[in-house]
Amino acid sequence: MTNSPRTITIGLLGCGNVGGALLPLLEQQRASIAARTGIDLQVAKVAVRSLSKSRDVEVPEALLTSDAAAVVGDPGIDLIVELIGGIEPARELILAALRAGKPVVTGNKELLANHGAELYAVAAENEVDLLFEAAVAGGIPIMRPLRESLVGEPITRVLGIVNGTTNFILSRMSDAGASYADALSEAQTLGYAERDPTADVEGFDAGAKAAIIATIAFGASVVAGDVYHEGISKVTSADIAFAARLGYVIKLLGIAELVDDGNADHKAPEVAVRVHPVMVDQNHPLASVRDSFNAVFIEGAAVGDLMLYGRGAGGPPTASAVLGDVIDAASNLTRSTYAAIGDLPRARIQPIDNVRSAFYLSLNVADATGVLAKVADVFGRHGVSIQSMEQEGLGDEARLVFITHEAVESNLQSTLRDLQQLDVVHSVGGMMRVIGS
Amino acid sequence: MTNSPRTITIGLLGCGNVGGALLPLLEQQRASIAARTGIDLQVAKVAVRSLSKSRDVEVPEALLTSDAAAVVGDPGIDLIVELIGGIEPARELILAALRAGKPVVTGNKELLANHGAELYAVAAENEVDLLFEAAVAGGIPIMRPLRESLVGEPITRVLGIVNGTTNFILSRMSDAGASYADALSEAQTLGYAERDPTADVEGFDAGAKAAIIATIAFGASVVAGDVYHEGISKVTSADIAFAARLGYVIKLLGIAELVDDGNADHKAPEVAVRVHPVMVDQNHPLASVRDSFNAVFIEGAAVGDLMLYGRGAGGPPTASAVLGDVIDAASNLTRSTYAAIGDLPRARIQPIDNVRSAFYLSLNVADATGVLAKVADVFGRHGVSIQSMEQEGLGDEARLVFITHEAVESNLQSTLRDLQQLDVVHSVGGMMRVIGS
């Protein structure tokens, strides 16, 4: 801590929801940050798409520019905060900043999930920080714990509720008995869901975040296209009610699993990364993550179970994550140091067919003797072991509800196919992967 | 990342529960850490009290020594891990290491809660790391998020379940209906509680952790002696049952609140730090933290609500936190940098009498008309506003249960005194501070 704080000048690219929350937060905290860190953070330029557009936050006219590239190239600017989003021009701007030796803070999940490895490598080559806490789970500190606290931890699996929109919708369906359509429309009214909700409800947004989490947790590059995903648009009120009766809550999870660390045969780590609805045991800490909150649950061989919970979106929480990164990068800059991820090997991706999980399966069957034996025989032939079964009469037919032990996805799928061939099986009521407590 | 990893030699002081878990974890992760960080971590010496004592972990004889000071002074050792615990000789050993320019990783909450400011200042003077993730909440990354991610966040309050023993006891009382004595004895049988459980059940352990959390969260030194504490030994099964009926769960919380940041008049921050049982709304995320798990709940003006959850004790989880710090310190050492807390001002401590909270109060009163009016009058005279009241007949007498709005502690205490003077009040059934959802 020095008596005369060192000034670090910031070029902010993008002044929307997050940028607009960052500016007043920075101003409000500037003196306290200087006192604690010896660094005076000063916003020197704010690049926006349109100079004439009205903004929630007042930006001095002298700071505003529509030329983002000029901000990056300005020798008077030390550090770049990229909050434009999307692939281009964000990628070119970040690369230019890194090559000019300027640390970059970004919240751009789409860019990192598609071009992360390139950016991490260029940052390391140029010995400069590229920090992105805000890209995953908004205000929750997850990237820094993974990159620093847990870099030596043998992490085996990460489960994340990393999309607030879908968690809100599923919470409304569970807690208020709303239908999917009503819950979605409520989310849209409240501004939690876009008019076109595809990116959220079909799991693309969560998939991008899962790719970033897997990359950092396992030290091997995973891209958005590697992530298997199913969304929540087919989850029905009946599924929710059934899950509740069995002691489960339905959540959309991003799941990143280490299949093989590759150390034994000097290969890159093999990982399975997927997003889909999961029946989560109601005693699991993720089950109590409600509304638009996010949480990331980390399983490590030494540390055991960890969960990091908080606001996954919104201007101020995300701006808080950006500010933490800005202070870190500025502090590193004054000490001529940086935290590199560096050159990552490409992860080997386990195909979804080979992934192991427990399953819930509900079948509508003929109410006759010998049905269970026929059904159980199909499970057995495909090596799928049943953990529990419940039978319920429904008048003319009966419903069989199974929870299986861990089974390979393809075996479950072929079990399902063969079950549908049985004349005693009238229809499949539902199928979902399951995570216990 | 370089091709030939740089070796950092470690001197480990203490090889008990945590040290004994750290050694195999380090060995198992050594190659992967070298691959990711370019640093080869090598344990050069292990100082123990008795060379002849049998240990769970096998330590090569050449590494063992009983001379901790010689390990600290050994020029062949780069970094010190202190896991001895207690004040002396840990304090002298850490000071010597810092003065010799060696980074120190410690899990010593007692030392930091009493002499933290001295140690942070000496670390900063000598431009060297002093890291202590393991000192608070075991394997949960809490110090690094507070020191780095949230250093720019206007944190207003931190609530922590930071003692696993008491959380286990309260969970058993809540979930299994056990008495305090039975739950304590079960905790002792399982090794969660010491034979003399005072430090845990009376809140001393949680108080030390609350002091460290407050210091880092608010940037001003708070010591163990500043922390007001009440333990759980007076919590009864009846309290637990009452709380449940009202929709609350009883938890022992460490609470650190910022009363005044002091910026306006250039003073040190004023904080209130206390440990006591709290009735927590059952919908609050802390309410679902069960058994011996720990969690720290952070309230920030920008970030909103955050919770960090995990294993707060135990060899492997705590060793995981130590390892994260070791990698960080080793990495900083190779880059000739460090993360200083530096010279902290002494916090101004708000006396417990001035602290504001909501309260639960249950009174056994005469079952007669006009009683409620008399009781309500006493509340009113002391400026304590009632949020909700419930009345229940008990044969000869009645029970009045109140939840108040936020009130100043001393006003609640004088309300209580005056209520006990009323002839219609037969006895006070219980009093507890309350935190909503």
- For A309-339, what is each residue's pLDDT tens digit? 999 999 999 999 999 999 999 999 999 999 8
Here the CATH number for the domain that contains residue B423 is 3.30.70.260
Residues of chain A positioned with their CB less than 8 A from the CB of B311? 303-306
Do residue B306 and residue B326 come from a single domain?
no
The H-assigned helical ranges of A246-392 are: 315-334, 371-381
Q: How far apart (Å, rounded) are the C-alpha atoms in residues A221 and A205?
A: 18
pLDDT at A24: 96
Q: How far apart (Å, rounded) are the C-alpha atoms in residues A110 and B422?
A: 67
Residues of chain B positioned with their CB less than 8 A from the CB of A153? 29, 320, 323-324
Instruction: Indicate the residue of A261, A305, A317 with minimum beta-carbon distance to B302.
Output: A317
Instruction: Indicate the residue of A1, A124, A319 with minimum beta-carbon distance to B1.
Output: A124
Residues of chain A positioned with their CB less than 8 A from the CB of B339? 331
Q: How far apart (Å, rounded) are the C-alpha atoms in residues B116 and B122?
A: 10
Q: Which segment of A57-61, A127-131, B139-143 scores lowest on mean pLDDT?
A: A57-61
- Mean pLDDT for all residues in chain A: 95
In a domain, A217, yes or no: yes
The H-assigned helical ranges of A84-197 are: 90-99, 109-125, 143-144, 164-176, 180-189
In a domain, B340, yes or no: no
Residue A323 to residue B152, Cβ atoms within 8 A? yes
In a domain, A347, yes or no: no
Contact B72, B95 (CB under 8 A): no
* Domain end (from A310, A343, A371): A310
Supply A329's token pair: 């990068």
Do residue B16 and residue B95 come from a single domain?
yes
Here the CATH number for the domain that contains residue A94 is 3.40.50.720
Do residue B18 and residue B75 come from a single domain?
yes
Q: Over the stretch A34-43, which tens digit does the pLDDT of each residue have? A: 988 999 999 9
Contact B313, B206 (CB under 8 A): no
Q: How far is B342 from chain A (nearest CA, A)?
A: 7
Do residue B271 and residue B168 come from a single domain?
yes
Instruction: Indicate the residue of B151, B320, B342 with minimum beta-carbon distance to A300.
Output: B320
Do residue B171 and residue B85 come from a single domain?
no
Domain interval for residue B203: 148-311
Q: What angle do CA B110, B111, B113 make, to 5 degrees?
A: 65
User: Is the confidence at residue A1, as pLDDT, over 70?
Assistant: no
In a domain, A59, yes or no: yes
Q: Which residue of A has its CA nearest to B26?
A: A152
In a domain, A1, yes or no: no
Do residue B94 and residue B200 come from a single domain?
no
Is the minimum CB–CB distance between B437 and chain A shorter than 8 Å?
A: no
In a domain, A224, yes or no: yes
Is the minimum CB–CB distance between A127 and chain B shorter than 8 Å?
A: no
Residue A151 to residue B304, Cβ atoms within 8 A? no
Q: Over the stretch A141-165, which tens digit does the pLDDT of each residue have? A: 999 999 999 999 999 999 999 999 9
pLDDT at A221: 97
Higher pLDDT, A216 or B55: A216
Do residue B69 and residue B88 come from a single domain?
yes
Q: Over the stretch B346-401, which tens digit does the pLDDT of each residue have? A: 999 999 999 999 999 999 999 988 899 999 999 999 999 999 998 888 788 899 99
Q: Over the stretch B255-310, which tens digit does the pLDDT of each residue have? A: 999 999 998 888 999 999 999 999 999 999 999 999 999 999 999 999 999 999 99
pLDDT band at residue A410 under the 50/70/90 scheme: very high
User: Is the confidence at residue A175, as pLDDT, over 90?
Assistant: yes
Question: Average pLDDT in the B394-418 region?
Answer: 93
Q: Which residues contact B243 (CB under 8 A, 6 or more apart)?
A: B249, B250, B279, B360, B432
pTM: 0.95
* Domain end (from A255, A276, A310): A310
Q: Which residue of B has its CA nearest to A39?
A: B152
Q: How far is A123 from chain B (nearest CA, A)?
A: 12
CA dihedral A63, A66, A67, A73 (to 10 degrees): 30
Residue B141 to residue A316, Cβ atoms within 8 A? no
Do residue B120 and residue B154 come from a single domain?
no
Contact A256, A239 (CB under 8 A): no
Choose from B81, B105, B151, B343 for mutation: most chain A CBs within 10 A.
Answer: B151
Q: Over the stretch A211-257, which tens digit does the pLDDT of each residue have? A: 999 999 999 999 999 999 999 999 999 899 989 999 999 999 999 99
Here the CATH number for the domain that contains residue B231 is 3.30.360.10
**Residue A390 burial (CB count, 10 A):** 13
Do residue A226 and residue A182 come from a single domain?
yes
Residues of A with catalytic roles: 209
Q: How far is A315 from chain B (nearest CA, A)?
A: 9
Q: How far apart (Å, rounded) are the C-alpha atoms in residues A244 and A237?
A: 11
pLDDT band at residue A3 under the 50/70/90 scheme: low
In a domain, A342, yes or no: no
Residue A152 to residue B303, Cβ atoms within 8 A? no
Q: What SS3 class is residue A16?
A: coil
pLDDT at A393: 82
DSSP-assigned letters across all residues of A45-106: EEE-S-SSS--SS---GGGEES-HHHHHH-TT--EEEE---SSTTHHHHHHHHHHTT--EEE
Do residue A98 and residue A177 come from a single domain?
no
Domain count of chain B? 3
pLDDT band at residue B3 under the 50/70/90 scheme: low
| Identity of residue B145 | P
User: Is the confidence at residue A4, as pLDDT, over 80?
Assistant: no
Contact A127, A100 (CB under 8 A): no
Do residue A160 and residue A258 come from a single domain?
yes
Question: Average pLDDT in the B221-227 region?
Answer: 97
Residue A302 to residue B323, Cβ atoms within 8 A? yes
Do residue A76 and residue A190 come from a single domain?
no
In a domain, B343, yes or no: no
